[in-house]
Amino acid sequence: MGVQSKPVPIGPWGKATAGAAGAVLANALVYPLDLVKTKLQVQVKQTDSEKTTGADEPHYKSTWDAVSRIAGAEGVAGLYAGMAGSLAGVASTNFAYFYWYSVVRVLYLKYNKGNAQPSTVVELSLGAVAGALAQLFTIPVAVVTTRQQTQKKEERKGFVDTAKEVIESEDGVFGLWRGLKASLVLVVNPAITYGAYERLKDIVFPGKTNLKPWEAFVLGAMSKSLATILTQPLIVAKVGLQSRPPAARQGKPFKSFIEVMKFIVENEGALSLFKGMGPQLLKGLLVQGILMMTKERVELMFILFVRYLQRVRSRQVTRSADLAAAVVAAKGAMPLTVK
């Protein structure tokens, strides 16, 4: 019977790299859904006169309508507009989140006097702290990406030029942090997601360290769906803050997510706070499922790699010790020379 290896901790950097890798892969696979949900969330309900005369801005009726019309007008490439910046934002945000989440969780377990696992409330709190720290460093990328996704084809610019456009607006360089307050409020989304994931993992697969791909996918999808439904109005408000203001505002940007929500309710009704829910939910379900599935695999690869390095080092130490012992034995066996 073989001896079971001790668990190998991969540390915050390993977990952050695994999380970022999983997030980039997942978001790359479903990016058109991300683009469509952003366009649906920023569009304003058309008036009867706009429907009759036709408006400059296209108005999409559904996810499929948006996909087919964007592809028809701009080709398949139109469904991937702003993808490079988006993936850069995804990588940085998830790396920062998983890094800080690992750090604060380790610190909590280290200084917590009890040996019990963190409660659901504690898991949510740890996730919120990690999310807030991550947002402070990564929100500028999200602002630029949102602008890119909502630009017209003829006005489309690269990541750097779009960033310059944001900085040259009335908010100046602080425009890169537009929606920060909403983003800080929205840390409840990943907090709910990962808090629910950890809790469901303990309930559904108690004592299991490494999940199978389908198990991680199901848990990730369930936890993200719950978080999305609870926070959708805030998600819509954040997108409204970071994109160009609607025509009805005559170029005047929103100042707070409360102002965005008030504008939406007054012009479109309360249900419009949940616009774009279809692609948002589908995207979140797929992304979180693929992310957690990939993250579990990458973490396992890190663990196996660390174990391999440990074995190599152990062999080198053993060989060095054997060589040293052989040298000592050889010296002891040498005959004394009489002068």
Residue 10 has pLDDT above 80, yes or no: no
Higher pLDDT, 127 or 9: 127
Q: Cα 77 vs. chain centroid, distance in angstroms?
A: 23
Cα 47 to Cα 52: distance, rounded to the nearest angstrom: 9
Tokens of 140: 């500028």
The proportion of the chain whose per-residue pLDDT surpasses 90, expressed as a percent, equals 0
Predicted confidence (pLDDT) at residue 2 exceeds the cutoff of 50: no
- Give percent above pLDDT 70 in the chain: 88
Q: How far apart are CA 233 and CA 265, in angstroms?
A: 11
d(CA 243, CA 241): 6
Q: What is the mean pLDDT of the chain?
A: 78
pTM over 0.75: no
Give the number of other CB atoms < 10 A from CB of residue 7: 9
Taking Cα atoms as reference points, which of 129, 280, 282 lies closest to residue 191? 129
Tens of pLDDT, residue by residue over 203-227, are: 888 877 777 878 887 887 788 888 8
Q: Mean of the pLDDT values across residues 65-70? A: 89
Q: Which of 65, 194, 49 is nearest to 120 (CA)?
A: 194
Contacting residues for 141 by C-beta, under 8 A, at least 6 apart? 85, 88, 89, 92, 93
In this prediction, residues 18-26 reach a mean pLDDT of 82
Of 8 and 252, more confident: 252
Element (H, E) at 225: helix 213-242
C-alpha atoms less than 13 angstroms from C-alpha of 170 in its C-beta half-sphere:
7
pLDDT band with cut points at 50, 70 and 90 for residue 297: confident
Q: Which helix (H) or strand (E) holds 221?
A: helix 213-242
What is the Cα Rg of the chain in Å?
A: 26
Exposure string for 268-305, b = 16+ CB within 10 A, e = fewer: eeeebbbbbbbbbbbbbbbbbbbbbbbbbbbbeebbee
Condensed to tens digits (0 to 9), the pLDDT of residues 162-172 reads: 888 888 877 78
Place of tokens 């929606």: 179
